[in-house]
Structure formats: structure tokens, C-alpha cells
Structure 1
Amino acid sequence: MPRVGTAGRREPHLEADVKEWIEAVTGEKWPAGADYAAVLKDGVVLCNLINKLAPGSIKKINTTGTSFKMMENINNFQRAMLAYGCTDVDAFQTADLFEGKDIAAVTNSIFALGRQTYLHAEWKGPWLGPKPAEANVREFDDETIAAGKTVIGLQAGTNQGASQAGQNIGAGRKIILGK
């Protein structure tokens, strides 16, 4: 998972990873020298990205119009991202991107989307971020469960060698010197 320190702290290397991944997925080149947040701000790139991952997720992408239309693109992307399997916690707020309030949150959301692609067998790559852990469900029979109840776990420690020898329970030590 990408490491982002304090809220709003942008990390250029993570943004570079996102740019590279978006280019690889969409097949469209990132505008040379363009600011990361400025390219994403209208939501068009994000809508194209989710439509490549899950075709038909966003029916209409607004390429021109008012600020309201551009924010609509961002909202559509967020809904499609949730439909793709990301959680509410992974989604950034529209203002984080459109008003530039927390671009790091946008980057984290795109990483969450990139991790989600591992869970879609129809997607053959490229991926972004580490592969999520898979469930490792184990089934035990009653005999094994009963045997486990008789064992003291290692985290509980041991009582071997324990004694109260040398403990003075709050009383001061008296040192008597010989004459």
C-alpha cells in the first residue's frame, strides 16, 4: 500500500507510478510537463481509466462545460470505483481533486483501484500496487480444536522458574555494615 504521511502530503514518486499506470491502461500519453492534479481535475482521464478497467462503467463523459459537469465526471468515477469493488474508505472527496484540497487522497484512491484489479480475473494487467492478501480459511475437526484448548499459547509465557524470592514489596532494603 502506498505510504502517505500526513493528510495532503504529496509524494511525487507515487504520483509518477499513477501516471505510468494510467498511461499503460488507457494507452494515452500523459501531457508532457503537465501538472498531475491539473490533468486529473476535470475527471476525464479518470473516467477513461475506469472504462478501460470495466467497459461501460461511465456512459457519458463530459469533455466540455461548466465546473458542475467536470465535478459530475469525478462523481461518476467515484461511483464506478465503488461498483468495481473499492470501499468507501478508499474513495476521495470530490473537493480533494477539483479544488486541490488533498491530492494525496486522490493518489491513494487510484492505488486502491489499482489493487482492486488483481481481484478481477478478466483484467490481465497492468496492475498498480501490491497484490491484496487472499483469505486462508482453515477447517479443523472437533478433536483438533479440543487438543488446542489444552495448550498454553506461547504468548501467555511460562511460569517455570517464577518465584517471589528477593521481592521486598515496597519495603526499603536495609544494609547493615559490620564494624
Structure 2
Amino acid sequence: MSINRAPKSGFAAEAQKKINSKYSEELAAECLEWVKEITGEPINTSGDMDNFYEVLKDGVILCKLVNAIKPGAVKKINESKMAFKCMENLTAFVDVCIKTFNVPNQETFQSVDLWERQNLNAVVICLQSLGRKVGQYGQPSIGPKEADKNVRQFSDEQMRAGQTIISLQYGSNKGATQSGLVMGNTRHM
């Protein structure tokens, strides 16, 4: 937790415990290994939460990562350890992920997720998603391969034939009747 926050209790503590339970040390270590390989920075690649947080919290390594993939992606990397400067780095990283590498919004994180150690799993998900997208830039990728589009072309005749078939998704009303219903009678439970 951040030094500036009171310890969570009650429902907030339970919710934080549930969020933390989704964190995978193996996936985090894989992400840090990938970051180390691309950036060439001498970072500790242990996947425990404390190390993952300490390596990435200021956003400098993350900005260097996207600059190593695509030079000039982040214009200015703030080396200062002041909170708002570090959060600017994190925001710049996420913006580049979305706008340059087409990482979906739902697979990114907010800067407070990392800076205040709220949701480190979201950071792992973002790094994996970025890792899938960078193959086109000649970089090694991580995580499962992204699916390719399977566009199908149907002729007009096939489209008309498909409109005449009643799908099983519409259900069936065979055997349904209103026998036994008497108007005005109350429902007995």
C-alpha cells in the first residue's frame, strides 16, 4: 500500500484481497523477463508483488520499453521520483499502448493501479496485451497469439437461403397450451 493511505478494512479489505488473489507471479516474471529482453535494462525479474511494484512503479522502465519497440513513442521520460512525474510516465505509457499499439482499453490500467499498488494484475494484463501486439515491429512477443480474422463471403443465393431457415435459437412452442387456466382464479403458491 502507499504510505499516504490508511489500511483498508471491512469490504474494502475483502475487495483488495480478491483483486490481489488474481495476481500471478509466473505471468509477472514472464512479463519482466520480456521487458528486460527488449529494453536491455538490468532489472530483477522476480515475479513477487513487491519486486514487480518496485521495478515498474515510476514508469521509467515502461516508457523505455515502448521507446525500444518504437523509438520516440514517449517524447519525454521523467526521471524524477516525485509522484506526479511518475504518474505522468505511467499515463504516457498507457496512452502509447492504446494509440500506437492498439491495446484495447479494457486491457490497460490506470496510473493509480500501479503507483498506489491497487491492481498489479491489471499491469500484467496490459504488458501481456502489449506483448501480443509488438510482433509486427520485429520484437519478440509474449502471451497467447492474437486471433486472426476469419472473414467469410456468402453469395446472395446463400444469404436468401439462410433467411428461410428458422433457427433453433428461437425455441419451440410444441405442447404449450393454456389448458387449465381459469380466468379470475388466484394463483396458489
TM bin (shorter chain): 0.7 to 0.9
Q: Does 1:49 align with 2:53?
A: no
Deviation sequence 1:47-83 (CA, Å, 0-9, x none): 0111112210111111124222111111111111111
Instruction: Choose the corresponding residue for 2:24, options 1, 4, 11.
Output: 11
Equivalent in the alignment of 1:176: none
Report what 1:96 is aligned to.
113
Deviation of the 1:100 alpha carbon: 0.8
Shift of 1:95: 1.0
Three-state SS of the structure 2 residue aligned to 1:130 is: coil
1:107 maps onto 2:133 in alignment: no
Q: Whose helix proportion is higher, 1 or 2?
A: 2
* Residue 42 of structure 2, aligned match among 29, 43, 46: 29
The question of 1:129 aligning with 2:146 is answered no
C-alpha spacing 1:32/1:141, structure 2 compared with 1 (3 Å): closer
Amino acid of the residue matched to residue 39 of structure 1?
V
Report the AA paired with residue 51 of structure 2. D
Q: Following the alignment from structure 1 to structure 2, what is the Cα–Cα distance between the partners of residues 76 and 97? A: 13
Unaligned runs of 5+ in 2: 1-17, 181-189
- The question of whether the paired residues in 2 share the 8 Å contact of 1:22 and 1:49 is answered with yes
- How far has the Cα of 1:132 moved from its partner? 1.5
Q: What is the TM-score of this pair, normalised by structure 1?
A: 0.75
Deviations 1:115-156 (A, max 9, x none): 2224xx3x1231011122122121211111122234455667
Amino acid at match of 2:60: V
| Cα displacement string for residues 21-72 of structure 1 (whole angstroms, at most 9, x for unaligned residues) | 1111112232376811101001011001111122101111111242221111
Distance 2:24 2:45 in 1: 19
Question: What are structure 1's unaligned runs of at least 5 residues?
Answer: 1-5, 171-179
Larger radius of gyration: 1
| Aligned partners of 1:8 and 1:105 also within 8 Å | no
Query: What CA distance in whole angstroms lies between the structure 2 residues aligned with 1:83 and 1:156?
Result: 41
In the superposition, the TM-score normalised over structure 2's length comes to 0.72
Between 1 and 2, higher relative CO (CA 8 Å, sep ≥ 6) is seen in: 1
**Percentage of identical aligned residues:** 38
- The count of residues paired between Structure 1 and Structure 2 equals 159
